Amino acid sequence: MTTHNVLVTGGSGFIAGHVILQLLEQGHGVRATLRSRTKEASVRAILAESGMTQGDNLSFVEADLLADDGWAAAVEGVDYVLHVASPVLPGRVENEDDVIRPAREGTLRVLRAARAAGVKRLVLTSAFHAVSWGHAHSDHIFTEADWTVLDGPGVDAYGRAKTLAERAAWDLVEAAGGIELTTMLPVAVMGPVMGADVSGANHIVQRMLNGGLPAFPDLYIPIVDVRDVAAAHIAAMTAPGAAGQRFLISNGPALAMKQIGAGIRAAVGDAAAKVPTRAMPSLVIRIGALFNQEFRGTVPDLGYSKKTSNERARTELGWTPRPAEQAIAAAAQSMITKGLAG
């Protein structure tokens, strides 16, 4: 296998951590960005605890998405950039610019630096939030051809940030050239927790385990395992047909919340005592949405299961994801082991 020097942005993040583990296992040289080098020791410890191999091939550099300092050094001498870093703040935020600005400006900053350094390809972690939000309910199967409707129902700051950042990246590459771009669009990411931080869709599992969810709303979540997301990023880094493509990283039909709960109970048995067993009437959520912002964000998707296609990733990347139930089980088991279930 040919090895490369790879920059991974946001080295302390959930997806980035799994990307780093797999890159190192495959023998690549990895440089990861952190907003502060003071985090390096703790990030290394978390990666080691998670099974890191060839840790001598990993280095860190300090760089912030909102500042130019550090990015020239970060991209120097690397063959590929996996730009994973971005704020993850779904739901309502006080100031949407706190999410949108670092996502859009940070993406353009990294892309320009990589282009100037002669990097061959940048793989950008976008999201399903840039594909399927704001659309009317239908039997439509979402693919890479779809884009989120920014002024449509249910679009939050995170969805706007991911959509605007990805569009800005495509616009820059189309206008300036000089670098290949590939974007990844994962659905809800679950899987083994790294360290003590629970992020992304793993919060759903944690809330079920700790009793924070008293009953199941009529919601459906498309799920993909973080280990498969990482593998897709690495495959997209070098796959000849991946340049200039978006990839929807999904795995089969969305699961009802009650199915996620059943998966947790099957995985951890008695440790799932607080996982709910009853349904929450949608009328209760609709009434609650009049007073509760969290409920308000779920109303547009009540009773709606989004359909997705991963045909392009399977065909172009040779990507085969594991069942969503394995992601749920791994998330729950890791939280129990780490004492994060509440």
The pLDDT of residue 253 is above 80:
yes
What pLDDT does residue 99 have?
83
pLDDT tens digit sequence for 306-333: 999 999 999 999 999 999 999 999 999 9
pLDDT tens digit sequence for 196-214: 999 989 999 999 999 999 9
What are the beta bridge partners of residue 29? 5
pLDDT tens digit sequence for 82-93: 999 976 555 556
Q: Where are the domains of the chain?
A: 5-338
Between 117 and 1, the more confident residue is 117
Beta strand segments in the chain, E: 5-8, 29-34, 58-62, 80-83, 121-125, 141-142, 180-186, 188-190, 220-221, 223-225, 246-249, 255-256, 307-308
Q: Residue 63: which pLDDT band, with cuts at 50, 70 and 90?
A: very high
In three-state secondary structure terms, 238 is helix
Question: Going by DSSP bridges, is the β-strand pair 80-83/58-62 parallel, antiparallel, or unpaired?
Answer: unpaired
Q: Phi and psi dihedrals of 300, rounded to 5?
A: -60, -20
pLDDT tens digit sequence for 102-142: 899 999 999 999 999 999 999 999 999 999 999 999 999 99
- Overall CATH class of domain 5-338: alpha beta
Computed over every residue of the chain, the mean pLDDT equals: 94
> Helix, strand, coil: what percent of the chain each, to 5?
45, 15, 40
86: amino acid identity, one letter: S
pLDDT tens digit sequence for 22-60: 999 999 999 999 999 999 999 999 999 999 999 999 999
Q: Are 222 and 301 in contact (CB under 8 A)?
A: no
Q: Residue 215: which pLDDT band, with cuts at 50, 70 and 90?
A: very high
What pLDDT does residue 37 have?
94
